[in-house]
Amino acid sequence: MASVREIKRRIKSVKNISQVTRAMQMIAASRMRRAQEQALASRPYAAKAWELLMHFAAQGIDVEQLHPLLARREVVKNVGIILITADKGLAGGYNGNVIRKVTRYMQSEGHEDASIVAVGKKGRDFMLRFGRKVIAEFTDLPPRPTSFDVAPIARLAIDGFLNGEFDEVHLAYTDFINTLTQTPTIRLLLPIQPSAEQMSEVMRDYITDTKPMTKAPYIYEPDPETLLDAILPSLTELQIYQAVLESRASEESARMVAMRNATENAKELIGDLTLTYNKARQAAITKEMLDIAGGAEALSQASK
């Protein structure tokens, strides 16, 4: 059996670890709430933008012809994937889940050579290690990302799509359902399709009407093309922004749960170790007493 002092040292170190994991759990919880609030706040805008686009589509004009960001390509050869992961680990299965989803997708769709735009260090490192084509990386986004922070990502996607570098751009991120459930998701980002399928599931609840109220033709100022020019890039940017926020909320809640488990395990371990420690101590005392008793017995025998 390990010595008493050794066990004592282990108890102390496990206690320290549990303090760290508990602190991390608290931090993750507050960050999760913040990201969640931010994600929720952006949903009405996204919902209205989608509705507007669907009203456009319902006008009977051929929207695909109207704007290059809406035009589907006949042959899809080059695919771009925006992969949103965390910069840090210690978040349970969070990073692994979304990365696995993407690699499976690349295999099953035959897009092994897809260009990866890595948002977050974990996804970048994984893809580089397995020799995938990582064409850009965006790491160290601030804890409270704004639409300004994601604008360059959107630019890259839009420019790449327009100049033919990508025939399709997909967005891989983690949808935040609740604290215990997060679902890794892959969605088509470009070309934009004004239909319910392209929306994330959480967004669908926010859309109230998909058809315009009136049948009368719209007045466009200045004209449909210019209007779409204003709406479509910002809708793309918005989708990425939302995906970043959903992923952030998912990351922090995954980390929170992971750290809570770690804290609980540490507590259990401390309990076990304390028991062992007490046993060892008891054994040491018993042994000492036996020694003393034995010694006394030997003495009394000798004096006889």
Partner 1 sequence: MATLRLEIVTIEGRVFDDEVNMVIAPGVEGVMGILPRHAPLLTRLNFGELQIKKDGQADQFYAVGGGVMEVQGTQVIVLAESAEHVDAIDISRAEEARHRAEERLAQASKDQIDFDRAEAALRRSANRIKLARRHRQKGGYGVQTPDNR
Name every residue whose Cβ is closer than 8 Å to that of residue 119 and which is 6 or more positions away in sequence.
82, 83, 84, 85, 137, 138, 139, 141, 153, 244
Q: Tell whether residue 60 is a contact of partner 1 (CB under 8 A).
A: no
Judged by CB under 8 A, the residue of 97, 103, 139, 147 near partner 1 is 147
Name every residue whose Cβ is closer than 8 Å to that of residue 191 and which is 6 or more positions away in sequence.
69, 70, 71, 72, 73, 161, 168
Span 66-125, contacts to partner 1 by CB under 8 A:
none
Judged by CB under 8 A, the residue of 226, 274, 282, 286 near partner 1 is 226
Q: Tell whether residue 216 is a contact of partner 1 (CB under 8 A).
A: yes
Name every residue whose Cβ is closer than 8 Å to that of residue 162 and which is 6 or more positions away in sequence.
68, 69
C-beta closer to partner 1: residue 183 or 234: 234
Judged by CB under 8 A, the residue of 65, 108, 214, 303 near partner 1 is 214
Name every residue whose Cβ is closer than 8 Å to that of residue 175 and which is 6 or more positions away in sequence.
182, 183, 184, 185, 200, 201, 202, 246, 250
C-beta closer to partner 1: residue 53 or 98: 53
Judged by CB under 8 A, the residue of 9, 155, 279, 287 near partner 1 is 155
How long, in residues, is the chain?
Answer: 304
At 168 the three-state DSSP class reads: strand
Judged by CB under 8 A, the residue of 213, 300, 302, 304 near partner 1 is 213
Judged by CB under 8 A, the residue of 27, 42, 165, 188 near partner 1 is 42
CA-to-CA separations, 180 to 60, 175, 256, 257, 264, in angstroms, rounded: 43, 12, 10, 8, 17
Q: Which stretch binds partner 1 (CB under 8 A): 193-201, 219-227, 250-258, 280-288?
A: 219-227
Least Å distance, CB 249 to partner 1, is 16
Judged by CB under 8 A, the residue of 29, 61, 207, 231 near partner 1 is 231
C-beta closer to partner 1: residue 100 or 155: 155
**Site size with partner 1, rule: CB under 8 A:** 30
Is residue 259 within 8 A of residue 32, CB to CB? The reply is no
What is the DSSP pairing of strand 133-138 with strand 182-190? Answer: unpaired
Interacting residues toward partner 1 by CB under 8 A: 41-42, 44-45, 48-49, 51-52, 55-56, 147, 155, 212-214, 216-222, 224, 226-227, 230-231, 234, 238, 241
